[in-house]
């Protein structure tokens, strides 16, 4: 014991945990000094608890992945049972649970999306989707949207249209092309022109890049961390038509929008289309174990009936992750979580409509099921954002105050630039939503003070 340790009072458990984490681990997407993470002791339903027994309402389901809520012991039991039988087999061996999970996924996926290639996370689903699209079509270019996120490995980061990739710009992979897709709130040329212009813009990019060079278009099933920037009505159907016309594959990234988050199994089901591949992760195991899946159509899979499929991962179809996923899928059904997401989403919409009247800083609220985002502005007429796109730390002063208040009042959620995300676990109740909206309302009052009085 050094002299300081003798003089100072002993550290609390929370302080010790924080110290060890900060001394020996690195934190994603942030400066390493000056951060103040919550030390989580346990989770139960929609709540997280820290070492001082403070309760936090988890209004972003972790990173929009803990869809069934925290601490569900059915998953623990399923995982333990599988571990007691066999914890690992090579992807060349098979297990009962791997086949059962593949069959279940084929049942919930529409059309001929019947073959599952199991991965480790969202990024590895995306990497394999892109690799397979190029192999299958013999083409090299991939088109995707600015203001999208598909993961942080090199290829997934390149295909993303997220400013998180700008610090590693020099490491971007070749043959990725991004297109801009406006969203209604910030579109100034009439709603009736939004779809037409969006489709025309994409058509031009396809023509410029050469349709015969384009392997796939990759889009999120519903926009997530870029701000829930919803598609113009009818847009995805038009994209599907363009893909059909030019022999381009359509890959939907359902990593965040999948598994009930939008009130349907998959976000694209709100748009009446069927893609050629679906990238999955997050809600597949509700974050209980890291896992992902690339679901492919029979047509694509069929090409590899008599040819080698050049994809592989040591942990593909990991039996314990398969067991967690299979149980989580049963929970979605047994607890009617898709239906609840739709109903509770409408309840949040109603609450938000009231909040909009009360708070001058709420510029826009966008939501599908329980994938929602509040956009704060300094002025409802000019729509000047409370913090700009890719805000620098000194531009986040007001939003940081709002975020600090949210946490102080006992909520964990995702605040980015001028966005506050509302994406609680799908098991949430009306009372818990009321509790959450009251916290957000109180915190947003801070931002209201920065809106000039007219
Ligand atoms: C839409 C989308 N795709 C892919 C990813 C990457 O997933 P992972 O972090 O599991 O690699 C994310 C993560 O937030 C996501 O939101």
| Percent of the chain scoring above 70 in pLDDT | 98
> How far apart, in whole angstroms, are the C-alpha atoms of residue 419 and residue 417?
6
19's enclosing H/E stretch is helix 13-24
Q: Check pocket membership of 373 for ligand 1, CB cut-off 6 A.
A: no
> How far apart, in whole angstroms, are the C-alpha atoms of residue 76 and residue 78?
6
Q: What is the mean pLDDT of the chain?
A: 97
Which range has the worst mean pLDDT, 3-12, 51-60, 315-324?
A: 3-12
Q: What is the pLDDT of residue 7?
A: 73
User: At residue 3, does pLDDT exceed 90?
Assistant: no
- Cα 267 to ligand 1 centre (Å): 14
**Tens digit of each residue's pLDDT (9 = 90 or more) over 391-404:** 999 999 999 999 99
Looking from the CA of residue 148, the nearest atom of ligand 1 is: 1
Model-level pTM? 0.97
**Tens digit of each residue's pLDDT (9 = 90 or more) over 155-211:** 999 999 999 999 999 999 999 999 999 999 999 999 999 999 999 999 999 999 999
Mean pLDDT along residues 285-305 = 98
User: At residue 269, does pLDDT exceed 70?
Assistant: yes
Q: Check pocket membership of 121 for ligand 1, CB cut-off 6 A.
A: yes
Cβ-Cβ contacts under 8 Å for 13 (sequence gap 6 or more): 51
User: At residue 5, does pLDDT exceed 90?
Assistant: no
Q: What is the pLDDT of residue 454?
A: 62
Angle (CA) 330 334 338, round 5°: 90
Mean pLDDT along residues 139-166 = 97
Q: Check pocket membership of 225 for ligand 1, CB cut-off 6 A.
A: yes
Mean pLDDT along residues 224-239 = 98
Mean pLDDT along residues 122-133 = 98
User: At residue 281, does pLDDT exceed 90?
Assistant: yes
Q: What is the pLDDT of residue 9?
A: 74
User: At residue 4, does pLDDT exceed 70?
Assistant: no
> How far apart, in whole angstroms, are the C-alpha atoms of residue 326 and residue 331?
9
User: At residue 452, does pLDDT exceed 90?
Assistant: no
- Cα 255 to ligand 1 centre (Å): 6
pLDDT band at 92 (very low <50, low <70, confident <90, very high): very high
**Tens digit of each residue's pLDDT (9 = 90 or more) over 364-394:** 999 999 999 999 999 999 999 999 999 999 9
- Nearest residue CA, atom 8 of ligand 1? 122
User: At residue 88, does pLDDT exceed 90?
Assistant: yes
218's enclosing H/E stretch is strand 214-220
Q: What is the pLDDT of residue 2?
A: 66
**b/e for 194-207, b at 16 or more Cβ within 10 A?**
bbeebbeebeeebe
Q: At what angle do helices 319-334 and 73-85 cross, to 10 degrees?
A: 150
Q: What is the pLDDT of residue 1?
A: 58
- Cα 401 to ligand 1 centre (Å): 27
Q: Which two tokens stand for residue 168?
A: 């590693």
């Amino acid at each position: 014991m050094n002299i300081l340790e003798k003089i100072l009072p002993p550290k609390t458990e929370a302080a010790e945990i924080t110290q060890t984490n900060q001394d020996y681990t690195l934190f994603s997407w942030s400066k390493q000094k000056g951060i103040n993470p919550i030390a989580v002791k346990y989770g139960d339903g929609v709540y997280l608890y820290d070492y001082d027994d403070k309760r936090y309402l988890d209004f972003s389901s972790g990173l929009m992945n803990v869809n069934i809520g925290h601490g569900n012991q059915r998953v623990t039991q399923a995982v333990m049972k599988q571990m007691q039988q066999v914890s690992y087999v090579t992807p060349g061996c098979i297990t009962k649970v791997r086949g059962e999970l593949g069959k279940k996924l084929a049942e919930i996926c529409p059309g001929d999306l019947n073959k599952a290639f199991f991965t480790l996370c969202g990024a590895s689903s995306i990497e394999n989707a892109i690799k397979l699209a190029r192999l299958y079509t013999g083409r090299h270019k991939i088109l995707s949207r600015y203001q999208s996120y598909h993961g942080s490995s090199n290829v997934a980061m390149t295909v993303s249209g997220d400013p998180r990739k700008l610090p590693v710009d020099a490491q971007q992979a070749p043959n990725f092309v991004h297109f801009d897709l406006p969203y209604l709130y910030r579109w100034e040329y009439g709603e009736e022109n939004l779809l037409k212009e969006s489709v025309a813009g994409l058509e031009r990019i396809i023509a410029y890049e050469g349709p015969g060079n384009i392997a796939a278009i990759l889009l999120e099933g519903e926009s997530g961390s870029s701000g829930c920037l919803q598609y113009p009505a009818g847009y995805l159907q038009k994209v599907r038509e363009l893909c059909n016309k030019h022999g381009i594959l359509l890959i939907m990234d359902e990593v965040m929008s999948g598994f009930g988050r939008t009130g349907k199994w998959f976000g694209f089901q709100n748009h009446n289309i069927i893609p050629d591949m679906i990238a999955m992760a997050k809600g597949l195991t509700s974050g209980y174990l890291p896992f992902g899946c690339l679901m492919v159509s029979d047509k694509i899979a069929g090409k590899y009936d008599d040819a080698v499929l050049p994809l592989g991962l040591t942990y593909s179809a990991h039996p314990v992750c398969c067991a967690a996923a299979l149980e989580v899928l049963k929970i979605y059904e047994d607890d009617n979580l898709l239906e609840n997401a739709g109903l509770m989403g409408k309840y949040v919409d109603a609450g938000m409509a009231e909040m909009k009247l009360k708070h001058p800083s709420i510029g826009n609220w966008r939501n599908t099921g329980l994938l929602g985002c509040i956009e704060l502005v300094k002025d409802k007429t000019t729509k000047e954002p409370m913090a700009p796109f890719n805000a620098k730390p000194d531009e986040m002063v007001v939003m940081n105050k709002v975020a600090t208040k949210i946490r102080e009042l006992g909520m964990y959620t995702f605040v980015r630039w001028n966005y506050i995300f509302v994406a609680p676990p799908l098991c949430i109740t009306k009372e818990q939503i009321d509790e959450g909206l009251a916290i957000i309302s109180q915190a947003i009052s801070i931002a209201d003070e920065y809106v000039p009085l007219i």
